[in-house]
Amino acid sequence: MKKIILAVFIGIVIFSVSGIVNATIPAAERAKEKSRAPENSPMIDEDWELEKVEFIHYVKPNNPGKPPKTNNCYKLMGVKWDIFPVNYIINPINNQGLSQDFISSAISISAENWDVETSKELFSDSYEISTSVQYGVQDYQNAIVFGDHSNSGIIAITSVWYTRVGKKIVEFDMLFNTDFAWGDAEISSYVMDLQNIATHELGHAVGLSDIYNSVCASVTMYGYSDYEEIQKRTLEQPDIIGLQKIYGI
Q: At 106, give phi and psi (nearest 5°).
A: -60, -40
Domain, as residue range, for 148: 4-247
Q: What is the pLDDT of residues 52-72, one digit of tens each?
A: 999 999 898 766 555 555 568
The CATH number of the domain holding residue 29 is 3.40.390.10
Q: 128 vs 124, 141, 147, 210, CA distance in Å?
A: 10, 10, 19, 27
Q: What is the pLDDT of residues 102-141, one digit of tens each?
A: 999 999 999 999 999 999 999 999 999 999 999 999 999 9
State the pTM of this model.
Answer: 0.81
Does 214 have pLDDT greater than 70?
A: yes
Q: What is the pLDDT of residues 79-98, one digit of tens each?
A: 999 999 999 999 999 999 99
pLDDT band at residue 47 under the 50/70/90 scheme = very low
**Total domains in the fold of the chain:** 1
In the chain, the percentage of residues whose pLDDT exceeds 70 is 77
